[in-house]
Chains A and B, each alone.
Chain A
Amino acid sequence: MTGRYRGILASAGTGKTYALTTQLLARFLAGEDPSSIFAATFTRTAAGEILDRILRRLCAAARGGEGLADLQRAVEREDLTADDALAALGTLGRSLDRVSIWTLDAFLVRVATAFAVEIGLPPGWRITGDDEDAQLRDAAIARVLRDGGKDAILPLLRMLKKSEGERSVRESLLGSVNAVHALHMACGDSAWEHVRPIAGLLDDAQIAAAVDAAQRAPLAMTKGGRPHARWVTAHQKLMDIVLRKAWGPLAENGYAASALAGGTYYGLDFPEELREVLARLAQHGRAFITGELVKQNEAARQLAERFESAYGDLKQERGAIRFDDLPRLIMNEDLATVREELYYRLDARIRHVLLDEFQDTSVAQFRVLEPMLAEIVSDETQERTLFYVGDPKQSLFGWRDAEPALISRMGEWWPQIQTQKLARSYR
């Protein structure tokens, strides 16, 4: 398969990296300017490994024999000679500074550096590590608590009550706030607006009236004309719940739920008068709990916003930026409209893109790449290429929001991409 836009989906050991280095070799051997080729992977080790393989294969081919034959087959060039490989190696060696085999993070750092002003990065910004980030988050929580007082502490306490294990309060605080913050950054307000208040909330007088009515209402009778024993027990339990104002258990009570749903209890229908009053009480329980959830979500939203504000200020003050901040910041600037400027500031006109371990790309990272990929696959000069490899089942960067589904959907978004599955393992 020799299309200009290709994707390979394959399991471990099937030769994905070999395929990627072959593509890179083909371009170098064709005399492409190294700075026009951009290959991305996920770790510095992997980036080093790709260049290592390219140089190794060229060295082997330059010695002739099987190394040359292997390269001829791989790049589908029977006319390739050992001297050609040697010359390509010499040229590549003398232009090592222009070879762009980077991690995706390194690419994003370059883009961010080029557009630091536009995306709002503070002067002298730098990528910070986990330790400093944890300190910044601690300090941000302290600011939120200092400025927000008890209003800020209460939602935190609610979250801490749910957290388990023997972690320290600091770790629990950090973990809870991080979770809320991550959700907020990923979904915005929609995360907190998913649960809406429902109707049916009763005031104290209405509850008292409903209890009174429920206590007076007839229960279902046995054939013998006596109240059904299970009904009596369930009814007493429900009244106890209502009198204790235990709205959580009320919302989960099966007896009341059946009445609300118009169902039966132990095979017997609810007398209409009873059904009506129990339904009212059951609906109140649900409305109350839902209302609590709404309040809780609102508190969490406010906490996430306050935290983001304090954390963002601290990062700005110290110029401490996380790798994960970059895609979001870059996306605030619409790179689709400034591609010329991007190439100008990067000192490189990227014509060929090769992506390794594509399954580890996050949605945010993909959004940064997307305009460039779209430009390549829409190219009318027939000279630009896109190549990616990955294994949706082998994503290792879940902790950094990798989205393996992206690789599977590339073909849907851009039908001109030819996708191929490699099955044979060489391990």
Chain B
Amino acid sequence: MARINRVFLGWDRPLVHTAAEHLARLFKVPGGGVDCSTVTLIAPGGRLGRQIVEEMARSHRAVLGEFLTIDRFVSRVCHSPRLAPDWIRRLAWVRAASALSTQERAALWPAAVQNSPVQLLSMAQAIDAAARRLAGDGVSFEDARGAVVEKDLPDAERWSALSLLHGAYAGQLGAMGFVDPWTHRVDTGRRASELEIGSVVLVGVVELPGLFREILRRGHGEVTTLIAAPPGREDLFDELGGADPSAWQQERIVIADAAIHVVEGPVQQAQAALVLAGGDNAAPRPDAVVIAVPDEEVLDAIERLGRSLEAPSDGRMPLKVRSAAGVSAVMTPPGRLLRLVGEFLADPEFPAFSRLLRHADVERCVRRAAMQRGDSIIREETNLLAALDAYGADHVHGRIDGMWVGGKREDPLRTSLLTAIYQGVAEMLSALWMDGRPAPARPISAWMSPIVALVRLVSAGSVDEQEVAAMRVIDTTARNMHEGARFGDLEPQVPPDAAIRLLLGELSRAQIPAPFDPEAVELVGWLEAVHDPAETIILTGMNEGCAPREAPADPLVPEALRQALGLSTRRATLARDLCLLTQAVHGHPRVEIIAGRRRVDGSRLWPSRLLLAADDATVARRIGWFLADPIESPPPLGDIPKLRAQGPTRDAFSVMPIEPHEALREVSVTSFKRYMRSPYEFYLREVLALEDVPPLASELEARAFGDFLHRVLERFAGSSSARSSDEGAIFGELRELAAVEAMVQFGHQPPTAVAVQLEQAMYRLKGFARWQAERARDGWEILHVEWKAPRLTLHPSEGELRVKGRIDRIDIHRARGEIALIDYKSGEGDKSAIKGMYRAASTSLFGPWTDLQLPLYRAMASPLAEQHRAKIVMGYVWLPKSGEVEWLEGTWEESVLDQGIEQAEELAGRMLRGEWMHTGNATPTDGPTAALLGVSIILPESEAEGGEE
């Protein structure tokens, strides 16, 4: 039995100072000096321990023998050279499952999990974590099963299965020469009376897990527990200094109302914290302030606000903040690289490839690879991402396999560049990517070397401290996972993306600290802040659920089972936090407490129960602060921190003005329709030559779909079936042409939507075959396709304007002496378009024609008609999705068509005069042009005022 000595140090000064002073007195040696070399100091967290060690060295010139956290102390006491490492345990749990019957396994995980190595390993991790938690209290699965049976609690079946599983698992480990660390801990606890623990000093430990408690109580040695409470408050603590839940439940904590600030949301909490920390944006004295942030939303807000603070005007250093917790390894550049590679391997399509290239290190790696290959296509000034984006905008590319679509129409230089990029990525991925696809499944351990090689290759040369630390963590974790090779053929086999996912899962538990900054105010967890020796402690997020932290429900070990097993319960957690808040309030000259009323999503927050451990009147008053409308924040917080300006601001939206420009000389047939729709849009597109930047396409937009059909029909005209009247032969030809065109444009494996669109196109082509066969039987022949018409010159009074055009198809009927000017239309609304081209009663400023395509074509094709001594007919071949292809003829009188040419001349005059500021017949209502025009941004006056009527 250890000798236990409780020492009450008082709570009016920081524990770091009182504990160091006490230790100096306790271990003072005759003749001066302090000898703590035989002492093991145990603190609840690393921060407090380090601060005491520093204080001992600084103020008392003493070096402590050893400083440990509770878990490290238990690990040391329960050490064995044969303890199974994490990954080996994980695999052993999975292997052990094969010893269970189907029914027993069903009590542990869903049947579907059995087929997924990744999910089985995830389940194994959950079971291992449960074993670890229970072992922390000296309880095994078998103990839990016994308690469930004895107390007649539900879940006996599950605990029986777990107990069986544990037996098989221990057997697996034993066969490999390993020992389960959790079983070993439980066993060690049972023979605690045989342990030598030496001289142990606990500092500020108010929560003691069962196993730790057992070792201290029954081991051989001397335990001194230093308690931050005044003598006379022994009632609040147990024999080892742990907070007594029953006693603390009755305790009322006195906090001045003035120290509690109730604000609205996380941003206001962040603002309040920074105002209280720095006041005027200036950095406080180092170590003067520490901010506790138990709420992730508030942490995020403080970090963002901290980066935007304006420096004080008097030249002092600006306030800076640093999160002591650091960032998760998966959020570092090497972690993000692994995630992007994993996503690409899981779904190797163009968007994932494009995202992968956006990782700065990947682009550098691709450039390096090109240089090493002696590939000169990628030069220093070459913008790889711009080329990739431009390709993505021009094509709908599906699966990545090293082949690029577009055929002869694609710019060969760009294709070479993309090929070089692909080669760089393929080399970078090395063993993970083979023959244009993800490598086949291998044992998990076999993936670790290629993955580490990938990270080293891509991150080579990085000097960033956090990145280097992350690479070290990845290296270590992968080495641990490589240990799985010990299982030989029994190790699960997974594809490379799954191996990366598993590695990322392991890495998600590793935190990479931010580089130390002695001038920054530290953001710490609230349990760590309590004993910090800083003069001012700012406790943010003092809301229910954050402090005490709401423990997620544990379906395996619910509260009832915890009670049955005598484990720590929620009451104990509340007692710990009440104790710590009391110690914080007493131990520091200034404690500021901030609580929010809402989360980021607007949902309500309520005060922490720690603030409501008071008399009923105080509870009522504080709850009232959360209900007041408007908010009554006691006391006023003053000005919010000043932020740096976020770049130039614009006072108001303004439409791009018309700039002086050269007069137009040539337009296309379709330009007239665009001008009549919106002269300003015409100006943007045809005078300034502005183009939309198309988003990365996943399917063919209407125009691209129409282009596809046009290309197939153009090729058809040159085929041997062009004169056929056999519907089957025509469709056969079209189907082949479409397949070739699809291969050129979209590759072997187009995206899903495109595959469907290609089938839709076939419906239309089938309908076209029917129509074409009928037309051939009627005596029509194809004369030209994509006929480049001779320029037509218009002569308005302002000068000359040439008009160019290309006619989709021209047919001739020699017997009737007719030629037909044909335009293909594939839009669903195009059936009525021909009727809407001319409106005799139109009141439009521009005239009765809304689209001058056919009158202009007629004028342009007149020489051709004369050459063939034929009359001109014209219209649309409508290719709707129903497949019911129709010939829609425009039948206007000669005089009406002549009127169209007159209207074209009038419009040409407007274009030459530069009349661009008219709203037009159909101003665009969406897209970039609409935005530039202010549509949906600026309301017309009539709608802006009294628009509801």
Contact = CB atoms under 8 A, between A and B. Distances in A.
Interface of A: 44-45, 47-49, 51-52, 55-56, 58-59, 62, 86-87, 89-90, 93-97, 110, 113-117, 119-124, 138-139, 141-142, 145, 150, 153-154, 156-157, 160-161, 168-170, 173, 316-317, 338, 340-341, 344-347
Contacts of B751: 142
A90 B609 CA distance: 10
A96 B612 contact: yes
B154 A62 contact: no
Contact of A123 (B113, B552, B755, B760): B113
A56 to B, nearest CB: 5
Q: When A and B form their complex, which 9 residue pairs have the shortest distance between CB atoms, in order from nearest?
A: A48-B604, A90-B616, A120-B110, A123-B122, A341-B154, A44-B603, A93-B612, A142-B752, A93-B619
Contacts of B760: 157, 160, 169
Contacts of A86: 616-617, 620
A9 B560 CA distance: 38
A15 B907 CA distance: 66
14 contacts: A47-B604, A59-B620, A62-B620, A89-B619, A94-B619, A97-B550, A114-B555, A123-B123, A142-B751, A153-B759, A156-B756, A170-B752, A341-B155, A344-B560
> What band does the interface of chain B fall in when counting residues whose beta carbon is under 8 Å from A?
35 or more
Contacts of B438: none
A384 to B, nearest CB: 20
Contacts of B558: 114, 344-347
Interface string B92-113: 0000000000000001111111
A344 B601 contact: no
A107 B570 CA distance: 20
Nearest to A49: B604
Nearest to B755: A145
Given A94-B612, A97-B545, 20 more contacts: A52-B627, A56-B627, A58-B620, A86-B620, A87-B616, A89-B616, A94-B609, A95-B609, A97-B544, A97-B548, A114-B553, A117-B108, A117-B110, A120-B112, A124-B122, A156-B756, A161-B882, A317-B118, A345-B555, A347-B559
Given A96-B612, A117-B108, A117-B110, A141 B623 contact: no
B609 A344 contact: no
Nearest to B574: A97
Contacts of B613: 94
A316 B123 CA distance: 13
Interface string B720-759: 0000000000000000000000000000000111011101
Contact of A169 (B107, B559, B623, B699): B699
Contacts of A168: 699, 701, 753
Contact of B604 (A51, A120, A122, A346): A51
Nearest to A53: B627
Interface in B579-608: 601-604, 606-607
A347 B759 CA distance: 56
Nearest to A313: B112
B153 interface: yes
A113 B155 CA distance: 15
Nearest to B598: A48
Contacts of A89: 616, 619-620, 623
Nearest to A123: B122
Contacts of B112: 120, 122, 316
B235 interface: no
A84 to B, nearest CB: 10
A161 B828 CA distance: 11
Given A90-B616, A122-B112, A341-B154, A59 B602 contact: no
B555 A97 contact: no
Contacts of B700: 169
Nearest to B553: A113
B126 interface: yes
A117 B113 CA distance: 10
Contacts of A93: 607, 609, 612, 619-620, 622-623
Given A90-B616, A94-B612, A123-B123, A344 B154 contact: yes
B881 interface: yes
Given A114-B555, A141-B752, A45 B603 contact: yes
A316 B347 CA distance: 17
B449 interface: no
A139 to B, nearest CB: 7
Interface string B494-536: 0000000000000000000000000000000000000000000
B158 to A, nearest CB: 8
Given A120-B110, A341-B155, A161 B881 contact: yes
B465 interface: no
B924 to A, nearest CB: 14
Given A48-B603, A87-B616, A123-B126, A347 B756 contact: no
A51 B609 contact: no
A62 B624 CA distance: 11
Contact of A121 (B110, B118, B559, B603): B110
A123 B109 contact: yes
A411 to B, nearest CB: 33
Nearest to B116: A317
Contacts of B602: 45
B596 to A, nearest CB: 13
A142 B754 CA distance: 11
A311 B110 CA distance: 17
Contact of A116 (B550, B555, B604): B555
Contacts of A121: 110
B553 A347 contact: yes
Contacts of A87: 616
B616 A169 contact: no
Nearest to A138: B752
A337 to B, nearest CB: 11
Contacts of B604: 44-45, 47-49, 51-52
B487 interface: no
Contacts of B620: 58-59, 62, 86, 89-90, 93
A173 B606 contact: no
B553 A346 contact: yes
B119 interface: yes
Contacts of B125: 123
A362 B617 CA distance: 43
Contacts of B632: none
Interface in B318-347: 347
Contacts of A94: 609, 612-613, 619
B862 interface: no
A156 B756 CA distance: 8
A97 to B, nearest CB: 6
Contacts of A44: 601, 603-604
B698 interface: yes
Nearest to A156: B756
A110 B553 contact: yes
Contacts of A52: 604, 627
A347 B550 CA distance: 14
A18 B604 CA distance: 19
Interface in B103-156: 107-113, 116, 118-119, 122-123, 125-126, 153-155
A25 to B, nearest CB: 14
Given A59-B624, A124-B122, A117 B553 contact: no
Nearest to A165: B828
Nearest to A149: B755
Nearest to B624: A59
Contacts of B544: 96-97
A97 B155 CA distance: 25
A94 B604 CA distance: 17
B805 to A, nearest CB: 27
Nearest to A338: B154
Contacts of A161: 763, 881-882
A350 B638 CA distance: 46
Q: Could you say which of B111, B548, B559, B620 has the most chain A C-beta atoms within 10 Å of its C-beta?
A: B620
A232 B916 CA distance: 63
A338 B558 CA distance: 16
